A = this chain, B = another copy of it.
């Protein structure tokens, strides 16, 4: 429906604006830990380093502000956000609320397409666990499973909030510096959720997701407190 001209196999060339590119670079720098929490994000410095003017940098920073990676203080500039154990804990609280609603819907609107997608993602989880890939890949694969669930809920709002949560969560996990648990075990703990959804058992699915998120929360928070 979107493809109007399937004549030649030309690939859509990069039409994303300067602002988006700057935002991506900055967000990578923050999530990967190159910019420590609390660090000042100087417009002039970033602009000079990237060889652009300050205007796109400012807009990119505003974008990052709305995804919660940086905060702006009037007349003082942008700073990489400080995360506290409490804030991280609260984040998981929000995530639980969202994901409970999502699995409730999924259990009712279950179909083969979603089944296939989620099953494949659990397989992917096992694959990256076995191959012992880097932490970023592991965390991303985990998040992707939950993202797919939100996407399958048929409510874009859940996905929208989840994306925000995902960015902050990854940010915090990267801060911890190492994976919080055995990757294989993480892969396995997704299976009860899937099993419950397959049988349209709403209560079991809610219980499974509640357990899953709470476990992740406990482990991450424990690890995080060690840094404070």
Interface residues of chain A, those whose CB is within 8 Å of chain B, are 15-17, 55, 58-59, 62-63, 65-66, 74-75, 87, 90-91, 93-94, 96-98, 100-101, 155-158, 161
Contact = CB atoms under 8 A, between A and B. Distances in A.
Nearest to A92: B157
Contacts of A74: 15-17
Contacts of A158: 93-94, 97
- Tell me the dominant secondary structure on chain A's binding face: helix
Number of copies of this chain that the complex holds: 2
Nearest to A55: B55
A90 B161 CA distance: 12
Nearest to A165: B157
B157 A94 contact: yes
A109 to B, nearest CB: 13
Contacts of A66: 62-63, 65-66
A98 to B, nearest CB: 6
